Amino acid sequence: MSLLLLSLMLLLMLTSTCHCAGLEVNGPTQRISGIRKGDSCVCQVNSTIWAFPVRKYETVLNELQTCEGSLKNLEEQLDISIQQFPQFETWLANLTTRVQPFQYLHQRGLYTALTLRRLDEELGQLETDIGAVHSQLNSANTHKLSTEMSKLRDDVTRMKMSDTMNMRSVREKLRYLKNSVESSKTIPKDFRGEHSQCYKGLITNISEPVTTMVSPSGKALVSGSWGKQAQENSKEQKNSYWVLPLVSSNIYGNFLRVYPSYEDFLTIKNAKQFIFAPSPTDPKASEGPGAVLYGDALYYHCYRSADICRYDLNTNIVKRATLPGTRVGYNNRFPYCYYECEANSDVDVEADETGLWAIYSTVGNHGNIVVSRLEWDSQTETLNVTQTWETRIFKKAVTNAFMACGVLYATRFVDDNHEEVFYAFDTASSKEDNSLVLPMEKLGKAVSSLSYNPTDKQLYMYNAGYLLAFKTSYRGVVWNP
Ligand SMILES: *[C@@H]1O[C@H](CO)[C@@H](O)[C@H](O)[C@H]1NC(C)=O
Ligand SMILES: *[C@@H]1O[C@H](CO)[C@@H](O)[C@H](O)[C@H]1NC(C)=O
Ligand SMILES: *[C@@H]1O[C@H](CO)[C@@H](O)[C@H](O)[C@H]1NC(C)=O
Ligand SMILES: *[C@@H]1O[C@H](CO)[C@@H](O)[C@H](O)[C@H]1NC(C)=O
pLDDT band at 26 (very low <50, low <70, confident <90, very high): very low
Instruction: Characterize the bridge pairing of strands 407-415 and 368-377.
Output: unpaired
CA of 168 from ligand 1 middle (Å) equals: 21
352-363 mean pLDDT: 95
Query: Which domains does the chain possess?
Result: 2-110 (no CATH), 115-189 (no CATH), 191-478 (2.120.10)
Q: Give residue-wise pLDDT tens across range 148-162.
A: 888 888 877 776 665
Give the percent of the chain with pLDDT over 90: 49
Please, what sign has the CA dihedral across residues 159, 160, 165, 166? positive
Taking residues 474-481, report their average pLDDT: 64
Of 35-49, 88-102, 225-239, 359-373, the one with minimum mean pLDDT is 88-102
Q: Which helix (H) or strand (E) holds 146?
A: helix 140-161
Q: How far is the CA of 421 from the centre of ligand 3 (A)?
A: 14
Give me the pLDDT at residue 107, please.
45
Residue 335 has a pLDDT of 96
Task: For residue 81, name the pLDDT band (cuts at 50, 70, 90).
Answer: very low
Share of the chain above pLDDT 70, in %: 70
**CA distance linking residue 155 with residue 140, whole number of Å:** 23
Residue 50, pLDDT > 90, answer: no
Per-residue pLDDT band for 232 (boundaries 50, 70, 90) equals confident
- What mean pLDDT is reported for the chain? 79
> Which of 23, 39, 90, 94 gets mutated to test ligand 2 (max ligand atoms within 8 A of its CB)?
94
Predicted confidence at residue 108, as pLDDT, reads 43
Q: How far is the CA of 90 from the centre of ligand 2 (A)?
A: 8
For 266-290, write each residue's pLDDT tens digit: 999 999 999 999 999 999 999 999 9
pLDDT at site 440 = 96
- Ligand 1 in reach of 45 Cβ (< 6 A): no
Q: What is the pLDDT of residue 195?
A: 54
Q: Which of 65-79, 243-257, 368-382, 406-420 has the lowest mean pLDDT?
A: 65-79
Q: Which residue has the higher pLDDT, 84 or 357?
A: 357
Instruction: State mean pLDDT over 282-302.
Output: 97
Q: Pick the residue with more confidence: 71 or 268?
A: 268
Q: Is the pLDDT of residue 73 over 50?
A: yes
Cα 459 to averaged position of ligand 4 atoms, centre (Å) = 31
pLDDT, residue 42, reads: 58
pLDDT score, position 275:
97
pLDDT reported for residue 327: 93
How many angstroms separate the alpha carbon of residue 421 from the centre of ligand 1? 44
Which residues have CB under 6 Å of ligand 2? 39, 94
Q: How far is the CA of 475 from the centre of ligand 1 (A)?
A: 56
Q: From 205, 411, 478, give the residue whose CB has the most ligand 3 atoms within 8 Å, as the site to mutate.
A: 205
Q: How far is the CA of 206 from the centre of ligand 3 (A)?
A: 7
As separate numbers, helices (DSSP H) first and strands (DSSP E) second, the chain gives 10, 27
From atom 13 of ligand 2, which residue's Cα is the shortest distance away?
91
| Ligand 3 pocket, mutate which of 203, 206, 207, 470 (most atoms under 8 A from CB) | 207
Strands (E), 195-323: 205-206, 211-214, 224-228, 241-245, 252-253, 255-259, 272-275, 286-287, 292-294, 297-301, 307-312, 318-322
- Answer whether residue 55 shows pLDDT above 70: no
Q: Which ligand is nearest to the CA of 108?
A: 1
Please list every protein residue whose CB sits less than 6 Å from any atom of ligand 4: 375, 377, 380, 382, 384, 386
Ligand nearest to the CA of 51: 1
Q: What pLDDT digit, counting tens, does each position of 100-121 carry?
A: 444 444 444 444 556 667 777 8
pLDDT in the model for residue 160: 66
pLDDT over 80 at 409, yes or no: yes
Number of the ligand closest to the Cα of 437:
3
d(CA 457, CA 272): 25
Condensed to tens digits (0 to 9), the pLDDT of residues 135-147 reads 877 777 778 878 8
- Rg of the Cα atoms in the chain: 27
Report the pLDDT value the prediction gives residue 36, as an integer from 0 to 100. 59
This prediction has a pTM of 0.69
Strand partners, 260: none
Residues 6+ apart with CB under 8 A from 44: 32, 33, 34, 35
DSSP result, 367-415: TEEEEEEEEEETTTTEEEEEEEEEEEEEGGG-SEEEEETTEEEEEEEEE
Provide the pLDDT confidence category of residue 330 given band limits of 50, 70 and 90. Answer: very high
Is a pLDDT exceeding 80 seen at residue 381?
yes
With a 6 Å cutoff on the Cβ, whether 48 touches ligand 1 is: yes
Quote the ligand 1 centre to 223 CA distance (angstroms): 51
Question: So what's the pLDDT on residue 343?
Answer: 94
Max CA pair span of the chain: 88
pLDDT of 97 strictly over 50: no
Would the CB of 204 count as within 6 Å of ligand 3?
no
Ligand 3 centroid, distance to 58 Cα (angstroms): 64
As a residue count, the chain comes to: 481
Per-residue pLDDT for 361 more than 90?
yes
Which residue owns the Cα nearest ligand 3 atom 6? 207
Nearest ligand to the C-alpha atom of residue 94? 2
Give the ligand whose atoms come closest to the C-alpha of residue 90. Answer: 2
Query: Greater confidence, 23 or 286?
Result: 286
**Is the confidence at residue 45, as pLDDT, over 70?**
no
Per-residue pLDDT, 243: 96
* Predicted local distance difference test score (pLDDT) of residue 35: 59
Would the pLDDT of 129 be above 50? yes
Q: Is the pLDDT of residue 256 over 50?
A: yes
137: phi then psi, degrees, rounded to nearest 5? -100, -40
Annotate 153-196 with DSSP letters as a single string.
Answer: HHHHHHHHHSS---HHHHHHHHHHHHHHHHHHHHGGGTHHHHTT
Residue 57: its pLDDT value, please? Answer: 53
Cα of 74 from ligand 2 centre, angstroms: 23
Please compute the mean of the pLDDT values over residues 53-77 and round it to a whole number: 51
Q: How far is CA 98 from the centre of its chain?
A: 28
**Cβ atoms of 77 and 18 closer than 8 Å:** no
